[in-house]
Structure formats: C-alpha cells, structure tokens
Structure 1
C-alpha cells in the first residue's frame, strides 16, 4: 500500500496519516510512503519499519526534477496494491494519475471542505475542473466526517457505495504521554491563572479574531483569565487586535509548538472558534488531555465529535458574543467544568486506534480485492498497499 504525501508539514493531516500507517496490522499490510517534497516537521513520527521515498531534495521544485519525480512515483505505485492520497488537491491528483498509469486502485482521503478550499485558491476554476474530473472516478473515498461527505456529494456526482466515513484515529497513549511533559517556564502563568486555550494555524478560517474579542468581552466584565493561542501565521494581525481591545497583556501568541498537549492539560477550557473545519482533531486531543471544550458549531466535525453538545458546549459559528457567554459559563462554574472534563475523557476513547483502524483496514482490503486490480500478496502473506 502506498501513501502519497506532498510533504510532512506538521499539520493534523500528516500526523493522522502517519499514525494510521503505524497502526496498520503488519500481518496483513505492508505500507509504503512516497513524499513529493523533503520538508519534514515530523521527525520521529514515520514508523521505523517504513523507509519513505522522497522525490525532491531540499530547495528543489518539480521543474528541477519532473521526470525523476514521476519515475519514482510510478515505480512505487507499481509495487503497491492500493494507493492512498493522504489529503486533497496535489496528493490526490498525483495518486489519480499514478493509479491510471499503473492500474492500481486509489483511495481518496477527504479531510477539508472542498467548496471552501476551492473558494480560497488563486485558480478555483482549475481545481474545480480537476475535482469534477477526478473525485467521481476514484474507486473509494474516505471522509473524516459526515458533513464533508454530504458537501462533496452535493458538489460532484459520487456513487454512494464508494463512500465511507471514518473519523480520524487518536493515539491516546502517545497524546497522554506527551501531555505529562512539563510546561515550559514561560507558560507558568497557566498554573496560577485560569487560561483559555486555542490551537491552530493563525488564519481567518480558525476564527481567533473572534476568540480574542470574546476574551476582551469577558475581561471587561471583570472575569480575570488569560488567553493562549498556539500556532503560526497571521500573528501580527492578532496582536494588533489585542492591542486595540486593550488586552495585549493577557493574550499570549508564542507561535508554533511541537507539543501542545501539556497546555491542554493545564487549560481551564479549550476553545475552537473556527469558521469551518474538516474534522477538528484538536477537539479530540484536548478532550484526551482532560480539557473542557467549547466549540463553534461550524461545518464540519465539531457537532459530530461532541455529539450535538453531549461532551462539550457548542455555540453558533462566527458569533463572538455566544462564544464569550459559553466560555464565561465554563470559567465561572467549577461543577460544569468538571462534568465537561469527564465527558470529554470518555468521548475521547471512541477515537482510539483499536476502534477506528479496523474500519480503515476493511476499506483497504476491499480496494485491493477489486476486479482486475491485483490484490497481490507478498511472500509474507501481506497485501502491499
């Protein structure tokens, strides 16, 4: 089985893909990894028994090595029984072409709301055309949420029997081991003052402007607390907003951190303020660390994870006032905070690999058995996918 990545950029998509690769039953599957670009912010997360094939060296672009990259991809694809595109756009385009040229079935992994993604690209017409060409022709599509499945089904003519919804797996043991690490010294304020935590790329999608506005509203009401946002991106814009609202002293924007889990363990409440998501892995991670969750009911994922509000508070999307009200409720009510913490810990168990990975293994076995697609076994009796 061949998993196609653009690069190991440290995003949730790459982390979840590598987690799945590591969890696959080695008695049944022999996974391989092909990476277009050498960029790697996930050192040590590639399984030790998998040697990635990297097409482009540091600083190289496709134009520097077009035929070599294509040769590497087709060679790896020909050795596999199934090709998995780990995310939308370029990895899916490459997987589709590789499958077409080698006769191998392709599984597309849909993690983002493509209608939103297409709207934000510089060449939306081209990507919409490619999406309409490719997605209806893929033998299998796996969606990380029912909301994404419904969205793509409205956009393109998809065959229902080819579609599956499998929530992202969460390696609970790894998350909790990392959560046990100490906070850095600069974050010691989390042990002294209640802190609202947000984690994600600093982009309009994540709605951190709304979170800062909600924080300012609560501070103006006299509710003392800090706001910590971990991530990189539009940092200056958010700092300017905090200054304009007079809360620059209580808003912390330290940038990207490789291990956000100790911060989740100490957070009084975890806030997801996104305007849209694909699944929102960060909610399951926060719950696994014991953080009560307040989340915007955005498309898609938060309502599915929280089961309509059973395991955390849901607020209307793009509504800073409602977000402030819910955050204030959790900060001020210790009993509610504890109930949400316990509910989140229980719900996080539903995303453990032993509950999620078998569904993926069934999809991969089914794809490998498709008529005319080989389903070849190695000498050790494993499907090469």
Structure 2
C-alpha cells in the first residue's frame, strides 16, 4: 500500500514532527511511504521517499501564480505515484483559494485522511463555517489528536467519521537522546516551542516567573525556540530587569537534553493541539506544569501525579505553581517517578496499531 504524507514542514513545529513520526511508524508497518513538506525545512528524522515541495517555494517571491504552480506540481506528483492514501497534516490556515486548490483539485480522486492538530482549526471554521466544512466534505476520515479536539471536530463535521489518534513518540529514542551531555551549570525552568504570543502566551510565564522570585535562588527561566515575537519577550524581560535570569536559546535539533536537565517543562498556552513537548519531557523523566487550555494538556497531565495542571491563567497562581515545582522536592520526586510510566500509551508501537486499523 502506498501512502503520501503531506506536512507543513519537516523541521518546524509539532505538526511537522508528528508527520515525520507517522512516516517512521507506517514504514515500520511495511507501507510504501512518501513524505511531502510544503516548506523547505528538513531536519526531523523521517522514513520513506522525500518529495520536497518546499524547494519550489521562494519566500521573497510567492505570488498567487507561484502557489498555483506548486499545486499543479503536487497534483502531477500524486497522479504519477497513484497513492492509496493521502494523510494531510497541514494546519489549513491558508486562504480559501489555496485550500480549494489543494483539497478539491490536487487531492481529487484520492482517499484523504485529514489530521487536525490544533484548536486553531476550530477557530478557523468559526470564521467561515460553510466553506471550511465543504473543504473536508469528501474526507475518507478525519483524525483529531486528542479526545477533546475529537469532540469539537465531531460537532463540525457531522457527516464525516472523526477518530482520535494521538501523536506518537519513540520512548527509547528520546531516552537515548536525553542522555547526551549538556554544559549548563545552573537550575532552570524550561519552555520549549514557538515564541508566539497568540498561542503560547509567554508573557504570562515571564511575568509569573518574575513574581515567583525563584531567580533569587538561582533558578533561571529558559525559553528554547524561535519565533516572530521574540523581540516582544526580550523587551519584557528587560523591563522586568531579568536580563541575566531569562535565557533565550534558539531551536535545537536535540531539545531533549534540555528537557532532561530541567527542573520542569512549562506551558502557559491559550490553546494547544496536543502538547507534544509535555510528552517528550515526561518521556525523559522530567515533570511538567501546564495550564489546562482547550484541548491538549489534560490528556497528558494527571494533576498531582506526573505534574501540575492548573485551571487558571492568574499570574499569582502560575507563580505559586512555579515555586511548587522548585521548592516542594518531595512532591516533584513523586512526579518524576510517574513521568515515564504516564506516557507509555503514546509510544510509537501503541499508536502504530491505531493507524494500521484506520488504513485497513
């Protein structure tokens, strides 16, 4: 069976990382896999044949005609290979014309599985409900990456079958990567992800860190990642006189050593799709703290067992949770003991069985 995985990239974001893991899972199951990144970022490990559609994209010259030409190239590639299934992992936040070109032209005649990775899709549909529903009305199946998201997507696509298949992690691989050496000689709280305020809400984390005053005990805040809003956070850090306490680190190909050596990994997001970084942190034995945003963290964090799941965006409560993760060593030790066992259900072998059942 031939399967084509479409991904926004193979080097940026959780959707791209999960698509790369799909390629490994499905290749391991014996499927003939091809993977097509829309943007020219390739750094994640993947299996299968690569067709880099991103190589035809020039960000400095990306006109409507350029987009049409890439759609034509993709359509020709799909027809030449006659795939049995297409798995579309894109975020579907393009213009309606772009989405029509892909969903109704490039994919025409193929069995397409659309993967919904983020609550942002629900917001997109709310803005243009009839058009967005129509785009996916010929879906073979729709996959949501957690149960809360599945329920929301079900309410939108009443005539399509929506199933839940979580993103997978290779626990053995993460464990091995987490053992690499890291030359850092101070304790730190870690955020790992895109530096984007509209989703990640990092202003709250920085302000709560300041209020917690854990920096007075030498505990720093490390922001690991890149994004357009980095200057905003740098300005806020300077305003709070935390220049020496908040560490900015660019994207790393192996973020797991930073997770392994952190006191905890934190998310204060306004919304998530899955919160893959939480699973990755737990997989290397590091507890987590997240706000219980719409979809994501509640499927991963068992509050008081493997971390803290806070039901509030109150700055004072977030700061107190940070203090708990630093100073309540007995509780944190219990979190650590439950970290790895709590994510066994997301291991690649378990999630692969769900994909195999879907593709029968």
Q: Same fold (TM over 0.5)?
A: yes
What is the aligned partner in structure 2 of residue 292 from structure 1? 287
CA contact (8 A) 1:84 1:95 kept: no
Alignment of 1:110-259 (within 5 A): 110-114=116-120, 117-118=123-124, 125=127, 128-154=129-155, 156-159=156-159, 162-183=161-182, 185=183, 188-190=184-186, 194-204=187-197, 205-219=199-213, 223-233=217-227, 234-259=229-254
- Give CA-to-partner distance per residue, 1:258-315, whole Å, 9 cap, x none: 2211111111121111111011000000001111111111111101111455321111
Match of 1:54 in 2: 53
Q: Which residue of 1 aligns with 2:273?
A: 278
Report the alpha carbon displacement of residue 196 of structure 1 after superposing the two structures with TM: 0.7
1:179-205 per-position Cα deviation (integer Å, ceiling 9, x unaligned): 12222x4xx233xxx311111111111
TM-score normalised by L of structure 2: 0.87
Cα distance change, pair 214–6 in 1 and its aligned pair in 2 (3 A): closer
Equivalent residues, number: 348
SS in 2 for 1:189: coil
1:62-94, Cα deviation, whole Å (9 max, x unpaired) = 623734641442442561111111123159756
Structure 1 pair 93–26 and aligned structure 2 pair: CA distance change class (3 A): farther
- For the Cα contact (< 8 Å) 1:278–1:300, is it kept in 2? yes
Task: Kindly report which structure 2 residues correspond to 1:326-341, keeping only aligned pairs within 5 A, or say none.
Answer: 326-341=321-336
SS in 2 for 1:264: helix
Cα RMSD of the aligned pairs, angstroms, is: 2.6
Q: Does 1:314 align with 2:309?
A: yes
Unaligned runs of 5+ in 1: 366-385
Change (3 A) 1:92 1:82: farther
TM-score (normalizing by structure 1): 0.82
Cα 1:65–1:20, aligned 2, differ >3 Å: closer, same or farther? closer
Q: Secondary structure of 1:24's partner?
A: helix
Query: RCO greater where, 1 or 2, for CA within 8 Å and sep 6 or more?
Result: 1
Please name the residue that 1:371 is paired with: none
Provide closer, same or farther for how the CA distance between residues 255 and 100 of structure 1 changes in structure 2, counting only shifts above 3 A.
closer
Contact 1:111 1:279 in 2 (8 A): yes
Tell me the CA shift for residue 117 of structure 1.
4.7
